[in-house]
Each structure stands twice: as structure tokens, then as C-alpha cells.
């Protein structure tokens, strides 16, 4: 059995359709059907029920799919790890969610650069969901994101839980609440959430915070990204709930107020490929903890 058999079968099973799978694999449909047939002959079992549309897997097909996917992920990981180890110059590609750029990310990156001047660091803004894909494809080496992905080929280290705050136009009735605001005071407001896609995203964390308090905001407006949400807040179009790092984004028409609800927090994760134990990553984690120590931010210390 060749790796291509696994790849072809996973595409058919995921697309539930031979034509779409062939398009995704950039091959014609007849050779794809032949390869699947060959795979079934090699295994001596039927993986796909005959004549079903959309494609339906047999019990053996479901079993094969569940094991083929992690195997393909591991192969992808093996490829990017080997390329990384074989490279002469040392590089570190970092994916980050936009909010971290207004908080501690610049300090962490500067600290890392100061201590590791031989490493070429590149930064890429992307959502947490995009980071997981980019890690698996070897386009980044570490992701700083906010969502807990269940992907087994990715290792996540929880760095800390960051409090959420409310961003409002200075003329808004809640802008005067210097001691903080409670979620219940926001339910009749227009709540701007981001990013609209891909989901799940920080938008779902904000909605989950309301849900956790048994609250449903009357109006939720989904916008493409953080910067758009903040621009609309400044224009008086609504309120946004953002991680407190975003307070580093100074805007003369936006004020930030604490959210009093204890559960209104957003985690920050350090995500890497499961097998990756490179010194670049160890040093990056050390730079994060060094900045936390300097600023007195409580945290536990994990090792790779």
C-alpha cells in the first residue's frame, strides 16, 4: 500500500464524492476510482458501499479513515521537521492572532531576537484555525492563538488566561463606568464580534461568555477582523468585547472598560507540532516566561 492510496481514500471519504475528490487531488476521476479499487483489492475488504451517492463508508472504511488521517498528518510533520533540521540557517516562523500584537507579542519577539540574534524570525498574522493548518503544512513553527484545537498532531501549552474588556465610544453611556461593566449591562447593545470566519474563533468565545452567564445579546454583528470592529466602535456603531491586550491599540475615539464577570477571560496558547522539540521553540517559550516574570504576570512553567 502506498501513501497515495491513503491520500486518495481520505479525499473521497471527506468530500463524499468522487468528482470533488478528484478536483481536490488535481487528478482525473477514472484513475482515482481505479486507485480506490486497487486499495480495496489489496486489503481484501470493501471500504465504500457500492452505488451510494453521496459516498457512504462501510464499517471497515470508517476504521481505515480514522487511522489513515493521523498517519498522513504524521507524514506531513515528518517532512517539515526534517526540512527544518536539514536547513543550515536557523529560522523561526511565528503565527499570531492580531490582538497579541497590541499586547506582549512585540516585547516577547524583541527579547527573543536579543537573546538569539542568529535566528531569522518571521511573523505572520493569522487566526488560531489558520495557525493549526499552517503548523501542519510547515508554514509556521509556533502559533500564538486563543482557541483550544482538538487536533492530535498539535501540542498546546496554555500560557495564561487574559481578561476581556469592553471597548466603547467615549460618548457611550457605559464609557463613564470607571469601575467596570457587567455582561448583563450589554445585552441591549449592538455587540460587534470578530473574526466572522473561519470559525470557531474569538467571536465564539465572546458569545460563550454571554451564554455562560445565561444571557443572549439582542444584536450581534459579525465583522471580518479586530481592526474593523474597533473602527466601528469608534464610529459609535456598537460595543466590542476584546482581550485586554487590545488596550495597547490607542484610538482617540475608543475607551476600554473592565468586564467584571470573572469568567470573561480568553486563553493564550503556544501551539507547536507534536514532535517538535527544537531549541528555537524552547528559547521562544523561555522568552515568553521571561517577559511574564518581568511584568509579574502569574503563570506556570511548562517545558517542551
Residues 6 or more apart whose CB falls under 8 angstroms from that of 47 comprise 9, 36, 39, 40, 57, 58, 60, 61, 64
- Could you tell me the smallest distance in angstroms from the CB atom of residue 9 to ligand BEZ? 39
Which residue of 35, 80, 93, 100 would you call a contact of ligand BEZ, by CB under 6 A? 100
Question: Which CB sits closer to ligand BEZ, 11 or 159?
Answer: 159
Question: Which CB sits closer to ligand BEZ, 109 or 175?
Answer: 109
Which residue of 10, 142, 164, 288 would you call a contact of ligand BEZ, by CB under 6 A? 288
Q: Is 202 a binder of ligand BEZ (CB under 6 A)? A: no
- Sole window of 100-108, 165-173, 182-190, 218-226 interacting with ligand BEZ (rule: CB under 6 A): 100-108
> Which residues between 266 and 285 bind ligand BEZ (CB under 6 A)?
268
Q: Is 92 a binder of ligand BEZ (CB under 6 A)? A: no
Question: Which CB sits closer to ligand BEZ, 95 or 238?
Answer: 95
Question: Which CB sits closer to ligand BEZ, 230 or 285?
Answer: 285
- Could you tell me the smallest distance in angstroms from the CB atom of residue 88 to ligand BEZ? 28
Question: Which CB sits closer to ligand BEZ, 236 or 267?
Answer: 267
- Could you tell me the smallest distance in angstroms from the CB atom of residue 246 to ligand BEZ? 11
- Sole window of 53-61, 99-107, 111-119, 182-190 interacting with ligand BEZ (rule: CB under 6 A): 99-107
- Annotate 84-119 with DSSP letters as a single string: HHH-SS-EEEEEE-HHHHTTTHHHHHHHHHHH-TTS
- Annotate the chain with DSSP letters as a single string: --HHHHHHHHHHHHHTSHHHHHHHHTS-HHHHHHHHHHHHHHHTS--B-TT-SS--B-HHHHHHHHHHHHHHHHHHHHHHHHHHHH-SS-EEEEEE-HHHHTTTHHHHHHHHHHH-TTSEEEEEE--HHHHHHHHHTTS-SEEEESS----TTEEEEEEEEEEEEEEE-TTSGGGG-TT-B-GGGGTTSEEEE---SSSS-HHHHHHHHHHHTT---SEEEE-SSHHHHHHHHHTTS-EEEEEGGGGGS--TT-EEEEB--TT-EEEEEEEEETT---HHHHHHHHHHHHHHHHHT--------
- Sole window of 19-27, 102-110, 196-204, 274-282 interacting with ligand BEZ (rule: CB under 6 A): 102-110
- Could you tell me the smallest distance in angstroms from the CB atom of residue 106 to ligand BEZ? 9
Q: Is 112 a binder of ligand BEZ (CB under 6 A)? A: no
Q: Is the dihedral of CA 189, 266, 130, 67 positive or negative?
A: negative
Q: Is 103 a binder of ligand BEZ (CB under 6 A)? A: yes
Q: Is 105 a binder of ligand BEZ (CB under 6 A)? A: yes
Pattern 209-248, binding to ligand BEZ, x per CB under 6 A?
------------------------------------x---
Site residues (CB under 6 A) for ligand BEZ? 100, 103-105, 108, 144, 159-160, 245, 268, 288
Amino acid at each position: 500500500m502506498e501513501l497515495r492510496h491513503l491520500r486518495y481514500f481520505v479525499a473521497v471519504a471527506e468530500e463524499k464524492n468522487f468528482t470533488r475528490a478528484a478536483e481536490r487531488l488535481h487528478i482525473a476521476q477514472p484513475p482515482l476510482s481505479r486507485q480506490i479499487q486497487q486499495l480495496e483489492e489489496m486489503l481484501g475488504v470493501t471500504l465504500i458501499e457500492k452505488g451510494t451517492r453521496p459516498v457512504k463508508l462501510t464499517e471497515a472504511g470508517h476504521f481505515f479513515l480514522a487511522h489513515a488521517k493521523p498517519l498522513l498528518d504524521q507524514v506531513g510533520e515528518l517532512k517539515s521537521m526534517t526540512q527544518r533540521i536539514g536547513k543550515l540557517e536557523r529560522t523561526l516562523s511565528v503565527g499570531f492572532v492580531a490582538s497579541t500584537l497590541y499586547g506582549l507579542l512585540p516585547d516577547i519577539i524583541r527579547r527573543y531576537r536579543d537573546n538569539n540574534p542568529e535566528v531569522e524570525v518571521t511573523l505572520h498574522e493569522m487566526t488560531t484555525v489558520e495557525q493549526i493548518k499552517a503548523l501542519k503544512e510547515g508554514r509556521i513553527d509556533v502559533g500564538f492563538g486563543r482557541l483550544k484545537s482538538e487536533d492530535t498532531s498539535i501540542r498546546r501549552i496554555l500560557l495564561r488566561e487574559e481578561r476581556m474588556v469592553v471597548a466603547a465610544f467615549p460618548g457611550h453611556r457605559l464609557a463613564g463606568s470607571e469601575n467596570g461593566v457587567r455582561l448583563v449591562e450589554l445585552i441591549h447593545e449592538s455587540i460587534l464580534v470578530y473574526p466572522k470566519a473561519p470559525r470557531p474563533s474569538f467571536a465564539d468565545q465572546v458569545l460563550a461568555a454571554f451564554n455562560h452567564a445565561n444571557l443572549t445579546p439582542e444584536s450581534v454583528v459579525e465583522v471580518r477582523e479586530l481592526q474593523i470592529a474597533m473602527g466601528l466602535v469608534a464610529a459609535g456603531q456598537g460595543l466590542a468585547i476584546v482581550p485586554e491586550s487590545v488596550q495597547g491599540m490607542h484610538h482617540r475615539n475608543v475607551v476600554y472598560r473592565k468586564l467584571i464577570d470573572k469568567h470573561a477571560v480568553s486563553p493564550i496558547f503556544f501551539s507547536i507540532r507534536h514532535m517538535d522539540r527544537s531549541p528555537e521553540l524552547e528559547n521562544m517559550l523561555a522568552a515568553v516566561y521571561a517577559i511574564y516574570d518581568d511584568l509579574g504576570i502569574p503563570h506556570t512553567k511548562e517545558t517542551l
